[in-house]
């Protein structure tokens, strides 16, 4: 392999690491139930915050609905993280390395 190609690969690797670090440090938001439940995650999928509107439960009968809404908000946020990660990292992989990240 020629030295120019090695330098290009090293730069690409460094850029990928930097992009991954930026993604992990980013904040992502998800919501469900018409903003009844909102969650905040870091790009490395750690939950930072959850906000549940005060009127989310009027009685204990609403508990199951609230639990389902929390799950939906978390899944919404994780999908946003996955989509952004795929978008950012595809610039390095060209979409040709499935399962890499």
100 inside domain: no
Tell me the mean pLDDT per 10 residues along the chain, length 101: 85 90 94 95 94 86 90 96 92 63 45
pTM of the entire predicted model: 0.72
The confidence score (pLDDT) of residue 58 equals 84
101 inside domain: no
Q: In the chain, how many domains are there?
A: 1
DSSP state of 34: T
Both structure tokens of 68: 């389902």
Provide the domain limits for residue 37.
3-91
SS3 39: strand
């Amino acid at each position: 392999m020629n030295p120019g190609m090695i330098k290009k690969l090293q730069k690409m690797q460094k850029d990928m690491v930097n992009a991954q670090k930026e993604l992990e440090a980013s904040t992502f938001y998800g919501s469900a139930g018409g903003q009844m439940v909102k969650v905040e995650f870091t790009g490395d999928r750690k939950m930072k915050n959850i906000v549940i509107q005060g009127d989310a439960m009027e009685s204990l009968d609403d508990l199951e609905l609230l639990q389902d809404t929390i799950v939906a908000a978390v899944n919404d946020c994780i999908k946003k993280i996955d989509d952004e990660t795929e978008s950012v990292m595809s610039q390095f992989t060209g979409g040709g390395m499935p399962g890499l990240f």
